[in-house]
Structure formats: structure tokens, C-alpha cells
Amino acid sequence: MTGTTTPDPATTAPVPAAAVRGGNGRTGRVRGRGERGPLASAGLHAGLLLAAVTAVFPPLWLLVTSFKPKSDAFTTSLVENFTFANYDHVLNDTHFLTWFGNSVLIVLVTTFLGVFISATTGYAVSRFRFPGMRPLMWTLLITQMFPMAILIVPLYNLMAQLGLLNQPVGLIITYLTIAVPFCAWMMKGFFDTIPVAIDESGRVDGLNPFGTFWRLILPLAKPGIAVTGFYSFVTAWAEVAYASAFMTGEENLTLAGGLQTFVNQYTNDWGSMTAAAVIIAVPAMIVFGFAQRHLVAGLTAGATKS
Amino acid sequence: MAVETGRSVAPAAGGDARGRGRGTGGAPGKTPGPLRRALATHWYAWAMVAPVVTVIGVIIGYPLVRGIYLSLTDADEANVARTIGVNEIDATYEFVGLDNYQAILTDGVFWDRLGWTVLWTVGCVSITFLLGLVLASMLNRKVRGRTVYRMALILPWGIPAFVSVFAWRMLYNEKNGILNQLLAGGGIDGIPWLGDPTWAKISVIAVNVWLGVPFMLVAMLGAMQGIPGELLEAAEMDGANAWQRFRNVVLPGIRSVSSTVILLSTIWTFNMFPVIFLLTRGGPGDSTEILVTYAYRLSFLVSPRDFASSAAWGVLILLLLSAFAVVYRRSLRKQGEVW
């Protein structure tokens, strides 16, 4: 997939760039693109290693710290006195499990509804050209760039009037404002990758567009739907602004709000924070691990093809 | 059989529903009126998009209109409709026209925050893009341990941003954080990472870059792998060196993807709430407050909550972003991009 040419096995030494440039390349060896000098190799590895360490270190340090006793939270050494005390404390003495449950409920319902509502739309904008399609595409795109600042106040007031503040339902409705346009947009990208010939054969066999969608395309689009679902899961799992504003009171917080309670201007419970952070990050990483290979394809395909 | 009819439908532009109606097999003899015909041919499409249109209209359209209306009033915590116990108190705020906008635009705070937000966005996006590009072209070679590097490099993307931000807060801790302890080990005085306005700005940008590079990297890598190997080989045959190949083959090859991800990440960064909010709360003072966090502060952190001004800030942010998107798109179009 990298498209590297197979290098001539005989050529191991690097050819100076000048030789390739000047010497017409016919007489001697052609340097394969995968080859390079030992110095360049070392530089490449050094660069990548530095970047990789920078990328991994903060979460790794979080993990390491979570196994230290509270008093050691800021020691520079690796774990000296290994302990599960932080986890024990977080799981048993705080509202963490309640927050976790709140988050799971809200995020699962949001994801399910978001995917469910947007599937047909993704298909329609991928396959049909109909009056109103361009405005719809624009709306989907623009709503994705909506700052939450514009919706948060009216939504807050609305939820307050409907008595939905501190209710999971309120946050689910709010998250749908993010999930629906996003899911529709991403699914369009995935439906675009399914050959139109399949639809046509379905029509020939007498299926109407709904039938084609339901019986033929939807089964084929399952991976795309899964990825869309994963991604809206991860997005909602990590949402902070609405969650912090709409959910108050220890019992009602989601994870984003709950984690803030460990370290704020009043308390500095770094030990609990690290343990909680690790437990929050693990599900997200598992979900992300499934989806990551396809994420960017979905995101950019929709945008570049439209 | 699918082949035969498939062929007759295929030329009708990307296989659309109309193709069937006006295709070869259509019955031209009894054509109904244009409106009925449109309804007959498009009702499937309209029915399919109906759920999303409804949902968007109700939960985005309506609040949006209300938000715009609120920004034209003097609504705050004390005069909006609310329920206290069993008592329902009606709203008493009044329409004040463009007063809020006038107040915001004539006040220095907005322009200060806008200046920093632009700096923050440009800084984050450009550094993220450059790093992503460099790392992607490094990974796009035959390197031993490619998969391991790749996995390590996209790790930050898989962790919820707010978790990562807390990890960084721990590293940045002024007294005991590991960054300052490392500096102390080297005999350098600790740096007030989040306590000093300038350092705080650098720190928040660093965290956001750290969060953003994985996405850039994956996008760029995907785009680079989409460039046909023959193109690069041909360039190499013609004597192009690595840099020339990069500039003249790779860069144009990833143009459509990179312009898209730059647009996306500009918008995301402009609105990047959690990094600033959780790392510094906009502080010290309001030195790291971007427009979005400031609007949030107005409606949820100050007392009394100033809903009207907050809504007006929101509208202004939306206008700024829309203007940016339009200008960006137009400039891309001028350069011949399809998007």
C-alpha cells in the first residue's frame, strides 16, 4: 500500500542524489524509494521516536500515577509502592459509578438515535438528486461548525422550561444536535463507496428505493454504520461544555463533569483523578480502536466528493 | 438481466431516482404536470430525508432562531421564565434591538478575545498541519516498526480530550509537575506553565497541537497513500530529488484532503472549548479566554448570568465562522478545487 518499488537486492549503499540526478539513471542502479542512507535512517527513527514518546507520555504518566499512593502522586519515579487504592477509592467511595452509568446511558441512546435517524438521509443524499438537496447538504455541513456557544443558551433555557435540566433526556436531546448532522454527513460518505450498480440491480428486481435501501444497501453499509456509531459514541463520551452546564449535583453528572470534581479550585485529589481518568479512557480507546482505520476516510470522503 | 437494464440506467448521472423515470423505458405518451411529476419522482428522496429535516428543524433550527432572538433582548438570569418550586415565573425580558451587539463591538474585550482566538487558531492549525505533514511523510516510507510508530502517534486521538487535558494539567503542575521537575534536574527554574499569561498561551497551544496531530497525521497519510506509486517513480526517473518530488507530486496529490482537513480543524480549533476551559478556565485573568469560552463564561460562570450577551457572542462567532468558510471555499474554487 505504500507503493514502494522493490529495490534491487544488490544495492545497499546509498546512491548520492547527484548521481541519480545527473547520470540519467540508466547505467547504474536506480535507488528504490524505500532506500536511504544510514544517517537518514537514524534521523527518521529519531524523529519518529521523539514524536511517539511525546504522544504516549502524558496518558502513560496518567496510568503510572494511578497506581501510586496518593502521597506519591507527584514523584518522578515509576511506581514504587504499587497500589490499587485510588481505584478502590474512586469506585467505592465516590459517585463515579453513577457518573459512569449516566454517561453510558446518555451516550448509547444518543448514538443509537443519531444513527437510526440519519441512515436514510445519508442514503438519499448519496443516491438521489432532488430539489432541496444542496440546501440540505449545506445545512448538514454548517450545523457541524456551529459553535456550541450559539445553541447552549437557548437550549439551556428550553431545558429549564421543560424541566429537563439534570435529566439524561435533556442531554440526549442536546447531543442529538451534534450527532444527527454529523452521522448523516458521514454516512453519505460511506454510501458513496457502495457501487450504484447494486441499487440498479435491486430496482430491476422490482424493489422500490426503500426496499433497495433496506434489503441491499443497509447490510452492505454495516461497517460504515458501525464506524459512524463508534465515532458519535466517542464524541458524546468526550463532550464537556453541555455536560458541565446542564448537569449539576453530584448524582447527575456525567464523566466529563465528574472528573472535574476531583481537581478544581477546592480539591486536589490527583490520585482519584488519575484512576478515574484511566477508567474513562479505556472504553473510549477500545471503541476508537475498532473505528480508527475508517474514521478519516469517512470524514474526508464526504467533504471531498460532494 | 441486471446488466442489460443497468446499462441503460447508468448514464443518468450517478444513478439517481430520476434516471428511472426519464430513462429509456419511460412512457412519454402520458406525461403528468411538472409538479406532480416532481412529487412522483422525488417523494422517495423527500421521505427519506424527512426525519433528519424534522429533527434539525426542531432541535437546531428552533433554538437557533430563539438564540438570535435572545441576543436582541436583555435576558439574564433574573428575568427569564423559570420555575422555582411550584411557582412558574414568566419571562420579563424586553426586546432591545441591536444594543447588545453595539455594546460588544464597541468594547475592547471582544477585540482582545478575537485577537487571541485568531492567534490561537492560526497557531494551532498551522503547527498541527506542519507536524502532521512531516510525520505522515516520515511514516509513508518503509520504516522498520511503522505499525508501532503509527499506533503510538494516533494514541492521543483515542483518549477523550478532557482526560488528556487533565493528564497535561498534572504534567504542567507548577510546584510538582514532572516538566518542572525535569527542568529542575537540569538546573533550570520551574516555569509557571499555567500561571503566567504568556506561558499559559503557549501551554494551551501545545496541548491542542498534541491533541490535533493524530487526526492530521492519519488524514495526510491516507492521502499520501492514495497517490499512485507510478507518479513518484516517473518523477524520480525524470531526476526529481526527494524535495522536488514532495513539492511537485506529493503536495498537489494531497491538496483536496489537506484543504478539507484544514477547514475542519480551523473550525474545530476556533470552537475548542474543553482545552481552554479545563486547562486554565481562561486564566490567568482572561488571558487564554477564546470567544467560545468567554460566551460560556457569560452565561454560566458570571453572576447574574447574562444570557442575552452570551447569545450575541454566539451569533457573532457563527457569523465569523461562516464568513471564513465562504471565503476559504471561494479561494479554493479559484484555484480550481472541486469542493
A191 CB-side CA count, 13 A: 27
What pLDDT is stored for residue B301 in this prediction?
Answer: 87
- How far apart (Å, rounded) are the C-alpha atoms in residues B188 and A229? 48
What pLDDT is stored for residue A82 in this prediction?
Answer: 83
Say how many C-beta atoms besides its own lie within 10 A of residue A49's C-beta. Answer: 13
Q: What is residue B101's three-state secondary structure? A: helix
% of residues, chain A, pLDDT over 90: 21
By the CB < 8 Å criterion, does B66 face chain A?
yes
C-alpha distances out from residue A162 to A106, A182, B75, B276, Å: 18, 26, 18, 31
Say how many C-beta atoms besides its own lie within 10 A of residue B35's C-beta. Answer: 8
**B73: which DSSP letter?**
B
pLDDT confidence bin for B1, thresholds 50/70/90: very low
- The mean predicted confidence, pLDDT, of chain A is 80
Name the residue among B123, B335, B84, B293 with its Cα closest to residue A245.
B293
Q: With beta carbons less than 8 A apart as the criterion, state whether A120 and A303 touch.
A: no
What pLDDT is stored for residue A176 in this prediction?
Answer: 92
Distance from CA of A262 to the nearest CA of B (A): 10
**So what's the ipTM on this one?**
0.79
Q: Tell whether omega for the bond before A223 is within 30 degrees of 0, i.e. cis.
A: no
Q: Which phi and psi angles does A14 have, rounded to 5°?
A: -70, 145
pLDDT digits (tens, 9 = 90+) for A57-87: 999 999 988 898 877 777 777 777 788 888 9
Cell of A120: 436514510
C-alpha distances out from residue A39 to A11, A234, B145, Å: 17, 41, 17
The arithmetic mean of pLDDT across residues A196-201, rounded, is 88
What pLDDT is stored for residue A32 in this prediction?
Answer: 55
A interface mutation test: which of B42, B137, B163 has the most A CBs within 10 A? B163
> CA A176, A178, A179, A183: dihedral to nearest 10 degrees?
140
- How far apart (Å, rounded) are the C-alpha atoms in residues A78 and B167? 16
Name the residue among B130, B137, B170, B152 with its Cα closest to residue B278.
B170
What pLDDT is stored for residue B210 in this prediction?
Answer: 95
| CB–CB contact B140 A136 (8 Å) | no
Q: Per this entry, what is the length of chain B?
A: 339
- Chain A hits for B15, Cβ within 8 Å: 127, 196-197, 199-200
**B226: which DSSP letter?**
T
Please determine, for residue B48, whether its predicted confidence score (pLDDT) is greater than 70.
yes
pLDDT digits (tens, 9 = 90+) for A277-286: 999 998 888 8
With residue B87 as reference, give the H or E element that holds it: strand B87-89
pLDDT digits (tens, 9 = 90+) for B236-271: 888 888 888 888 888 888 888 888 889 888 988 998
A interface mutation test: which of B56, B157, B298 has the most A CBs within 10 A? B56
Please determine, for residue A15, whether its predicted confidence score (pLDDT) is greater than 50.
no
% of residues, chain A, pLDDT over 70: 84
- The mean predicted confidence, pLDDT, of chain B is 82
What pLDDT is stored for residue B35 in this prediction?
Answer: 77
Name the residue among A234, A248, A236, A278 with its Cα closest to residue A66.
A278
What pLDDT is stored for residue B23 in this prediction?
Answer: 37
Q: With beta carbons less than 8 A apart as the criterion, state whether A211 and A123 touch.
A: no
Residues 6+ apart with CB under 8 A from B40: B21, B32
B interface mutation test: which of A5, A117, A153 has the most B CBs within 10 A? A153
| CB–CB contact A240 B277 (8 Å) | yes
pLDDT confidence bin for A190, thresholds 50/70/90: confident
Please determine, for residue B325, whether its predicted confidence score (pLDDT) is greater than 90.
no
- How far apart (Å, rounded) are the C-alpha atoms in residues B264 and A259? 28
- Chain B hits for A302, Cβ within 8 Å: none
Helices within chain B (DSSP H only): 2-9, 17-22, 34-56, 62-70, 99-106, 108-139, 146-158, 161-172, 178-185, 197-225, 229-237, 242-245, 251-253, 255-270, 273-279, 291-296, 307-334
pLDDT digits (tens, 9 = 90+) for A135-162: 898 888 888 767 777 888 889 988 888 8
What pLDDT is stored for residue A69 in this prediction?
Answer: 85
pLDDT confidence bin for A250, thresholds 50/70/90: confident
A165-179, A191-205, A216-230, A286-300: least confidently modelled range: A286-300
**B95: which DSSP letter?**
B
| CB–CB contact A152 B314 (8 Å) | yes
Number of A–B residue contacts, CB under 8 Å:
358
What pLDDT is stored for residue A290 in this prediction?
Answer: 76
Distance from CA of B29 to the nearest CA of A (A): 22
Higher-pLDDT residue of B38 and A225 is: A225
Higher-pLDDT residue of B36 and A198 is: A198
pLDDT digits (tens, 9 = 90+) for B270-319: 988 999 999 988 878 888 999 999 999 988 888 788 889 999 999 999 89
What pLDDT is stored for residue A98 in this prediction?
Answer: 92
